[in-house]
């Protein structure tokens, strides 16, 4: 007996809106004629509070749980935007990162296919010949008729002012001059088709071609020489023939012309031939553990802890080969793709024609095509930046995250997800293997590996037993005597001279992330920190004071260093340009390349600059953190770090962790070729554990740091939420933050959560907005998530009651990687 499924006549719809109160499914009736078309993941138009709104179907039922549900107005003619698995992933993201579900859906939707509902006004009948009765009304009608009778409300608002236009349109509509309608914007990207010419079987008859006029014969010869298929435009430009000749050939049935969809491929430079290396024992061991897991088809997480130059990429590649053999797909995340073209090339060359590349620098059409190629199963390996994690890869077998410690894996716009954590959820749902690779693993991953949640695979040495570079710390307190501290110490200058005269290359690194304005003792190198928060203090020239950006406590700048009681406190900061000038003065005639925000404004500037350096056109590369990662240039034997202390001065509990990661990563650029490398690090605090560890004792340093995190209740031992309150009004921002803190105190009672602040955010004013923040620490995010959302809801209710309160915004960043 065949039972037909019961008709699913009601749909649960999530409204496309950032408003928290609307973040729940609403029930709509499915019109009978649309029943087959509505699926989970369908994009629909639904009536919602007096207008049409875009929505996403998340469930189908045969019974409504509400009386007289409204009907779906229209089902958009699109394949479903997401499947059940993506929906589950989005639900996790929305729940963990405290964002509306509709916003999480944007992560998994086809790129460039997002739509918006816009309101339009159009002239009704003979409107323009009548008198509107008001000056503004007349102007609106004139504008409309000039624009051909129709304009979006947004356009009219811009032209005449948002405040007055809506009521005027209402009046015009009441009097029958205009009508309103809702319409969808067009998607930014769509499939592209090109005309393709194909030779028919008849074309293989040589005698038929002999009789053709010369022009037509040229076309046929060219076409056959190209294997019988070519784009029409290319064929015409190669032969200089006209469309008319093609037409008559088509009439003679020697060829056919048809539109075909093409996939736009981003240009990535030539894929250098990547050798298939025989794995060394450490690699072989790691590969075996990972491929065993792949074979078993059970979700596992591996932490691939391998020093710089230990050959981690080869491990990913081998594991992916195994995954592909089993008919499964792979996703590889790299931190910032535009800075690591080399890595992309290595995957392309090992998996020719199977790799899709997804990153932010693609055009909308290119990105859509890469994405579509993945969904259609054409590409089985995705290499990309953070958002490539959401590629629609079916039968996922592995996710590999290279440089897993990189903060760029955390999104800085809502949903503020961390790719590493979401990858773990996705891999678990798919029964896939997750490999996290780094020479400087995050403390999160180290802690999870210790707890047994991840399996740690160690690769302790470089390929071919090449030595890790030797590190020398230069104590800057001893350099320069009583006068100004020089930017470049004697040992640094000597090392540069020696490298250059040996014909080798050097990289000089200046960390500028974070603050130039911190105070450091010139005698002992101490950086002042908050006695309650374990973060360093920021110097504010306005008011000449120091401030803790966690708890808001203020200090006067001391006359002498409170730590050694002797040295004067000095303010710090230096730029790449000054470094360049000093090196040029010391080594005249040597070619330098400077890479920083100023020299890399044009689209492919970094590729060109790095290409020139790799090709040996310059001997010294000077740069900011953009040169710290991934570079594998065999000629580099010296790495110089101008000031190791800048990252330590960040008002962030991760300052030490970041310092060790950054210094190890930049150092790792030296001595990757046949000649051994050397690293010179200038510092005012050579005894600081993060810096001292560079010359040995790294394990002990990490151990001590992790213990102190645990003692002070910091991640990874608690979940942290950074709540930012912004307002264009200084007083409103401060007052709102105080009020929110009170609400949180009440709402989080009994949960064991710790609330810190409010304090001005380290970036206390940004794009015209005053910023305050509050930190919440909790041992159990799941327990406080709903309460935090409610607290923010209650805060907004309150904010609407006072002047400027409408402009106050609250955002929450769960597991923040930066507290700026």
Instruction: Considering the complex, state which of residue 550 and residue 678 has its C-beta at the smaller distance from Zn ion.
Output: 550
Q: Which residues, 6+ apart, have CB-to-CB distance to 102 below 8 Å?
A: 14, 15, 16, 17, 18, 23, 56
C-alpha 523/C-alpha 281 separation (Å) is 48
In the complex, least distance from residue 277 CB atom to ligand ADP, rounded to whole angstroms: 3
DSSP-H helix ranges across 458-529: 490-501
457 vs 642 by CB, closer to ligand ADP: 457
646 binds, among ligand ADP, Zn ion, none (CB under 5 to 8 A by kind): none
Closer to Zn ion by Cβ: residue 538 or 781: 538
Residue 551 sits in the site that holds Zn ion (CB under 5 A): yes
Q: Please pick, from the candidates 310, 387, 411, 736, the single residue that binds ligand ADP as defined by CB under 6 A.
A: 310
Cα atoms in the Cβ-side hemisphere of radius 13 Å centred on 760: 18
Which has the closest alpha carbon to 459: 671, 308, 317, 322? Answer: 308
The nearest distance, CB 607 to ligand ADP, in angstroms, is 18
Interaction partner, residue 530 (ligand ADP, Zn ion, none; CB < 5-8 Å by kind): Zn ion
Taking contact as CB under 6 A, which single stretch among the options 178-186, 211-219, 309-317, 677-685 is the one that binds ligand ADP? 309-317
**Can residue 309 be called a binding residue for ligand ADP (CB under 6 A)?**
yes
Residue 609 in the binding site for Zn ion (CB under 5 A): no
Q: How far apart are alpha carbons 764 and 769 in whole angstroms?
A: 8
Q: Rule CB under 6 A: say whether 441 interacts with ligand ADP.
A: no
CB 636 within 8 A of CB 507: yes
CB of 529 to Zn ion, least distance (A): 9
Continuous segment of H or E residues that includes residue 643: none
Interaction between residue 635 and ligand ADP (CB under 6 A) = no
Contacts of 462 (CB under 8 A, 6+ apart): 307, 308, 309, 310, 468, 672
CB of 615 to ligand ADP, least distance (A): 17
Residue closer to Zn ion, measured from CB, 653 or 795 = 653
> 507: which strand partners?
621, 639
What are the start-end ranges of the H helices in 261-408?
281-296, 312-325, 341-350, 364-375
Identify the bridge partners of residue 555 per DSSP, sorted by sequence position: 546
Number of CB atoms found within 10 A of residue 777's CB? 19
Nearer of residues 384 and 630 to ligand ADP, judged by Cβ = 630
Q: How far apart are CA 267 and CA 293, in angstroms?
A: 35
311 binds ligand ADP (CB under 6 A): yes
Question: What phi-psi label fits residue 573: left (phi over 0), alpha (psi between -120 and 50 degrees) or beta?
Answer: left
Q: Does the footprint of ligand ADP cover residue 673 (CB under 6 A)?
A: no
In angstroms, rounded to a whole number, what is the distance separating the alpha carbons of residues 30 and 69? 10
Q: Which stretch binds Zn ion (CB under 5 A): 159-167, 512-520, 523-531, 695-703?
A: 523-531
- Could you say whether residue 755 binds Zn ion (CB under 5 A)? no
| Interface with ligand ADP: number of residues (CB under 6 A) | 15
Facing residues of 52 across strands? Answer: 47
Distance CA 581, CA 149 (A): 62
- Identify which of residues 44 and 317 has a Cβ nearer to ligand ADP in the complex: 317
Q: What is the DSSP string of 109-121?
A: SPTT----EEEEE
**Binding to ligand ADP (CB under 6 A): which residues in 129-148?**
none
> Is residue 545 a contact point for Zn ion (CB under 5 A)?
no
CA pair distance 365, 710, nearest whole angstrom? 47
- Shortest distance in whole angstroms from residue 299 CB to ligand ADP: 24
Query: Contact between 314 and ligand ADP (CB under 6 A)?
Result: yes
Segment 510 to 569, residues that bind ligand ADP, using CB under 6 A: none
Token pair listed for 7: 């008709």
Of 311 and 757, nearer to ligand ADP (C-beta) is 311
Judging by beta carbons within 10 Å of its beta carbon (0-12, 13-18, 19+), is residue 813 exposed, middle or buried?
Answer: buried
Cis peptide upstream of residue 758 (ω within 30 degrees of 0) = yes
| Tokens 């960040």, located at residue | 650
Binding flag, residue 313, ligand ADP (CB under 6 A):
yes
Number of H-type helices and E-type strands within the chain: 23, 33
> Residue 384: how many CB atoms within 10 A of its CB?
24
Q: List, in order, residues 6 or more apart from 36 with CB less than 8 Å away.
A: none
Closest approach of Zn ion to the CB of residue 661, in Å = 24
- Contact residue for ligand ADP among 78, 288, 472, 632 (CB under 6 A): 632
Given a contact cutoff of 8 angstroms between Cβ atoms, the answer to whether 240 and 210 are in contact is no
Q: Which is nearer to Zn ion, 295 or 531 (CB)?
A: 531
- Per partner kind, with CB cut-offs from 5 to 8 A, the member of ligand ADP, Zn ion, none near residue 198 is none
Residue placing its CB nearer to ligand ADP in the complex, 278 or 413: 278
Residues 6+ apart with CB under 8 A from 677: 467, 468, 469, 470, 636, 637, 638, 639, 667, 669, 670, 671
Phi, psi of 702 (to 5 degrees): -60, -45
Shortest Å, Cβ 550 to Zn ion: 5
Closer to ligand ADP at the Cβ: 248 or 285?
A: 285
Q: Which of 300, 312, 367, 614 touches ligand ADP by CB under 6 A? A: 312
Residue with Cβ nearer ligand ADP (426 or 678):
678
Residue 533 interacting entry, from ligand ADP, Zn ion, none, C-beta within 5 to 8 Å by type: Zn ion
Q: Does 548 bind Zn ion (CB under 5 A)?
A: yes
* Nearer of residues 309 and 758 to ligand ADP, judged by Cβ: 309
Site string for ligand ADP, 241-280 (x = CB under 6 A): ------------------------------------xxxx
In the bound complex, what is the minimum distance in angstroms from residue 462's beta carbon to ligand ADP?
8
Q: Which region among 156-164, 219-227, 265-273, 305-313 touches ligand ADP (by CB under 6 A)?
A: 305-313
Q: Roughly how many angstroms between the first and final C-alpha of the chain, as a whole number? A: 65
User: Quick check: 530 binds Zn ion (CB under 5 A)?
Assistant: yes
Task: State the binding partner of 632 from ligand ADP, Zn ion, none, CB within 5 to 8 A by kind.
Answer: ligand ADP
Q: Is 458 in the site for ligand ADP (CB under 6 A)?
A: no
Interaction partner, residue 463 (ligand ADP, Zn ion, none; CB < 5-8 Å by kind): ligand ADP
Q: CB neighbours (10 Å) of residue 516?
A: 13
**Residues of the shown chain interacting with Zn ion in the complex, contacts defined by CB under 5 A:** 530, 532-533, 548, 550-551, 553
Residues forming the site for ligand ADP (CB under 6 A): 277-280, 283, 306, 308-314, 463, 632
């Amino acid at each position: 007996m065949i039972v037909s499924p019961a008709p699913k006549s009601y749909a649960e719809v999530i409204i496309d809106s950032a408003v928290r109160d609307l973040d729940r499914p609403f029930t709509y009736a499915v019109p009978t004629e649309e029943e087959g078309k509505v699926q989970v993941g369908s994009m629909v138009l639904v009536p919602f509070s007096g207008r049409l709104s875009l929505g996403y179907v998340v469930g189908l039922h045969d019974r409504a749980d509400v009386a007289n549900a409204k009907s779906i107005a229209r089902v958009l003619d699109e394949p479903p935007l997401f499947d059940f698995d993506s929906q589950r992933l989005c639900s996790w993201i929305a729940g963990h990162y405290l964002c509306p579900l509709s916003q999480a859906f944007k992560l998994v939707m086809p790129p460039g296919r997002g739509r918006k509902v816009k309101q339009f006004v159009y002239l009704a009948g003979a409107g323009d010949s009548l008198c509107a009765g008001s000056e503004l009304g007349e102007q609106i009608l004139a504008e409309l008729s000039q624009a051909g009778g129709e304009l979006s409300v947004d356009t009219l608002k811009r032209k005449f002012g948002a405040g007055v236009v809506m009521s005027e349109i209402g009046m015009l509509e009441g009097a029958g001059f205009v009508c309103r309608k809702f319409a969808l914007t067009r998607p930014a990207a769509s499939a592209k088709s090109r005309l393709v010419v194909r030779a028919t079987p008849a074309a293989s008859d040589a005698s038929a071609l002999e009789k053709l006029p010369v022009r037509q014969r040229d076309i046929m010869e060219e076409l056959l020489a190209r294997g019988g298929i070519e784009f029409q435009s290319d064929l015409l430009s190669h032969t200089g023939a006209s469309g008319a000749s093609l037409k008559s050939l088509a009439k003679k049935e020697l060829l056919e012309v048809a539109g075909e969809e093409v996939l736009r491929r981003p240009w990535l430079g030539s894929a250098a031939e990547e050798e298939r290396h025989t794995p060394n024992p450490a690699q072989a061991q790691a590969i075996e553990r990972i491929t065993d897991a792949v074979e078993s088809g059970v979700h596992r997480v591996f932490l691939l802890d391998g020093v710089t130059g230990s050959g981690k990429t080869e491990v990913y590649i081998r594991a992916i080969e195994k995954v592909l053999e089993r008919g499964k797909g792979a996703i590889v995340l790299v931190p910032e793709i535009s800075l690591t073209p080399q890595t992309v090339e290595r995957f392309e060359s090992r998996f020719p024609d199977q790799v899709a590349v997804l990153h932010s620098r693609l055009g909308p059409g290119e990105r859509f095509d890469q994405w579509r190629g993945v969904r259609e199963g054409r590409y089985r390996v995705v290499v990309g930046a953070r958002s490539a994690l959401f590629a629609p890869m079916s039968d996922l077998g592995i996710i590999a995250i290279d440089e897993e410690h990189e903060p760029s894996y955390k999104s800085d716009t809502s949903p503020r997800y961390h790719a590493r954590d979401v990858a773990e959820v996705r891999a678990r749902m798919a029964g896939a293997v997750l490999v996290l690779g780094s020479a400087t693993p995050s403390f999160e991953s180290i802690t999870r590996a210790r707890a047994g949640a991840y399996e740690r695979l160690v690769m302790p040495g470089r390929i071919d037993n090449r030595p890790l570079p030797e590190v020398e710390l230069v104590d800057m307190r001893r350099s320069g005597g009583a006068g100004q501290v020089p930017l470049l110490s004697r040992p640094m200058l000597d090392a540069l001279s020696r490298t250059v005269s040996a014909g080798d290359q050097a990289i000089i690194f200046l960390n500028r992330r974070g603050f130039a304005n911190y105070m450091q003792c010139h005698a002992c190198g101490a950086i002042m920190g908050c006695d309650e928060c374990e973060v360093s203090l920021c110097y504010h020239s306005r008011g000449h004071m120091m401030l803790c950006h966690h708890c808001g406590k203020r200090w006067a700048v001391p006359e002498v260093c409170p730590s050694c009681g002797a040295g004067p406190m000095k303010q710090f900061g230096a730029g790449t340009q000054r470094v360049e000038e000093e090196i040029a003065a010391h080594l005249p005639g040597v070619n330098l390349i400077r890479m920083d925000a100023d020299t890399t404004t044009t689209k492919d500037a970094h590729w060109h600059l790095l290409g020139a350096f790799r090709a040996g056109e310059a001997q010294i590369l000077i740069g900011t953190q953009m040169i710290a990662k991934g570079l594998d240039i065999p000629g580099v034997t010296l790495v110089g770090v101008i000031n190791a202390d800048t990252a330590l001065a960040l008002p962030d509990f991760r300052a030490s962790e970041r310092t060790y990661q950054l210094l190890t990563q930049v150092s790792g650029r030296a001595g990757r070729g046949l000649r051994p490398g050397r690293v010179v690090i200038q510092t005012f605090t050579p005894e600081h554990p993060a810096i001292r560890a560079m010359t040995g004792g790294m394990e002990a340093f990490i151990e001590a740091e992790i213990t102190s995190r645990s003692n002070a209740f910091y991640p990874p031992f608690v979940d942290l939420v950074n709540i930012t309150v912004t307002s264009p009004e200084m007083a409103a921002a401060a007052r709102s933050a105080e009020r929110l803190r009170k609400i949180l105190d009440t709402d989080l009672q009994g949960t064991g959560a710790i609330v810190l602040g409010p304090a001005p955010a380290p970036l206390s004013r940004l794009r015209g907005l005053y910023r305050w923040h509050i930190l919440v620490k909790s041992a159990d995010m799941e327990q406080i998530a709903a309460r935090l959302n409610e607290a923010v809801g209650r805060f907004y209710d309150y904010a609407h009651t006072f002047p400027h309160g409408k402009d106050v915004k609250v955002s929450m960043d769960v597991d923040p990687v930066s507290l700026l």
